[in-house]
Each structure stands twice: as structure tokens, then as C-alpha cells.
Amino acid sequence: MQKETLNFFEKVYQVAKLIPYGRVTSYGAIAKYLGAAKSARMVGYAMNGSHNKEVPAHRVVNRKGLLTGKHHFEGTNLMQQLLESEGIKVKDLQIQDFNKIFWDPANEL
DNA sequence: CTCTTGACTGAGG
DNA sequence: GCCTCAGCCAAGA
């Protein structure tokens, strides 16, 4: 019987994988969808292990659409590069039209 | 066990 | 819209 925390991490990965192409979401949105809106930080923490997974962590940003986690990627602009490759416009770690491409799992899923 | 840190968020000024 | 404070939970020292 796994702990709920472990299940939480697993769900984070699952939801992250479900993020449509050219869309982004926030840590809080995922956390809220999992029923742990107050554990948004845990979502980001879970992403630490996302490197070994097929999780598109570059599509997950904070509520402002800011690429706060870009420092966890290789290089200095890999995250922004990946997003722009999907048609997402990014300006200095800030996603443009964030409200338009924002994907809320609790609402869309 | 206690303290610090962190890919966060909401409320108040 | 920006800055600051507090709450939140888990992992590491």
C-alpha cells in the first residue's frame, strides 16, 4: 500500500503527460485537480523526478505563466526553447497569451 | 526531533 | 500591477 504522497507524485506525472500540445498549466492547477490545492509546491517538488519520466515539465509553469523552473532544465534557455517549439510565445521567461493557452485539468479534463 | 529550503499561491497594502 | 507576509507540505542536513 503506497502512501498518498507517493500516489500524489504519480498523479502529477500523469496529469503533466496529459497536457495538450501547445498548451500550458500551472502547479496550482494540477495540485487543485488532485485535491491538494495547498500543495502546489509539492507539484514542483515532484517535477524534480520528472526528468527521468516522459513528463513535459516545460509545459508547467507558475500561476503567472513565468518559467520559474527553467533553472532545473539543462542550459539556460532550454525550457523557453521547447515552449517556442510548440508555438508558445515566451518573452524573458514570461509566457505570452498565457490566459489563452492555459490548460486547466480540473476544467478541461 | 528541529531548522532550512523550495519548479507555489492567495491575501493585504 | 508590484511588493511583502503567511500558509502549505515534503525532503535533506
Closest nucleotide (C1' vs CA) to A40 is B8
For A35-53, how does the pLDDT look when each residue is reduced to its tens digit (9 = 90+)?
888 899 999 999 988 888 8
Asked if the structure places residue A91 within a domain, the reply is: yes
Asked if strand B contacts A51 at the CB level, meaning under 7 A, the answer is yes
Closest nucleotide (C1' vs CA) to A9 is C10
Phi, psi of A15, deg, nearest 5:
-60, -40
For A68-94, how does the pLDDT look when each residue is reduced to its tens digit (9 = 90+)?
999 999 988 999 999 999 999 999 899
Measured in angstroms, what separates residue A32's CA from nucleotide B8's C1'?
12
State how far the Cα of A70 lies from the Cα of A58, in Å rounded to an integer. Answer: 8
> Which nucleotides of strand C lie within 7 A of protein CB?
7-11
Asked if the structure places residue A29 within a domain, the reply is: yes
Predicted local distance difference test score (pLDDT) of residue A3 = 47
Gyration radius of chain A's alpha carbons:
13
The number of folded domains in chain A is 1
Measured in angstroms, what separates residue A8's CA from nucleotide C8's C1'?
15
Cell of A73: 532544465
CATH of the domain at A44: 1.10.10.10
Asked if the structure places residue A100 within a domain, the reply is: yes
Query: Over 70: is that where the pLDDT of A67 sits?
Result: yes
CA nearest neighbour of A27 among A11, A41, A9: A41
Domain that holds residue A100: 3-104
Polymer length of chain A? 109
State how far the Cα of A50 lies from the Cα of A52, in Å rounded to an integer. Answer: 5
Measured in angstroms, what separates residue A48's CA from nucleotide C13's C1'?
19
Asked if the structure places residue A109 within a domain, the reply is: no
pTM, 2 dp: 0.90
